[in-house]
């Protein structure tokens, strides 16, 4: 399946991109997408414990399944206000 990955805050600085399109094989979850990304950009790997995620602009968990065409966003700890 083909998914779009969106990165915010320091994550897009570390990866050097705000939006990426990647192919995932088989039954993928948000965690699959994170693993693929962290292998490609090892600098983001330390965020594994603090990152949160959204699928198609709704809050999601690492276990949320993905479908072809989904938009997955990875969010570093937030700092609004």
Partner 1 sequence: MAELIRLVSGDEPGEPPAGHGAIVTFIGTVRGENQGRKVVRLEYEAYEPLALRAFGVIADEVRNRWPSARVAFHHRTGSLALGEASVMVVAASPHRAEAFSACRYVIERVKQIAPVWKREFFEGGDVWIEGAAADASDEASSEEAYRRACE
- Find the shortest distance in angstroms from Cβ 12 to partner 1: 9
Q: Are 31 and 5 in contact (CB under 8 A)?
A: no
> From CA 57, how far away is CA 66, in angstroms rounded?
13
Contact footprint for partner 1 (CB under 8 A): 6, 8-10, 13, 50-52, 54, 57-59, 73, 75-81
- Find the shortest distance in angstroms from Cβ 8 to partner 1: 6
53, β-bridge pairs: 60, 74
User: Which CB sits closer to partner 1, 59 or 65?
Assistant: 59
User: Which CB sits closer to partner 1, 15 or 51?
Assistant: 51
Nearest-CA neighbor of 61 among 70, 74, 71? 74
> From CA 23, how far away is CA 11, in angstroms rounded?
20
- Find the shortest distance in angstroms from Cβ 26 to partner 1: 27
User: Which CB sits closer to partner 1, 1 or 9?
Assistant: 9
């Amino acid at each position: 399946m083909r998914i779009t990955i969106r990165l915010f805050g320091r994550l897009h600085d570390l990866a050097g991109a705000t939006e990426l399109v990647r192919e995932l094989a088989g039954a993928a979850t948000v965690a699959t997408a994170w693993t693929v990304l962290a292998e490609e950009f090892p600098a983001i790997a330390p965020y594994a414990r603090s990152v949160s995620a959204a699928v198609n602009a709704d809050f999601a968990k690492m276990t949320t399944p993905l479908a072809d065409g989904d938009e997955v966003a990875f969010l570093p700890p937030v700092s609004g206000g």
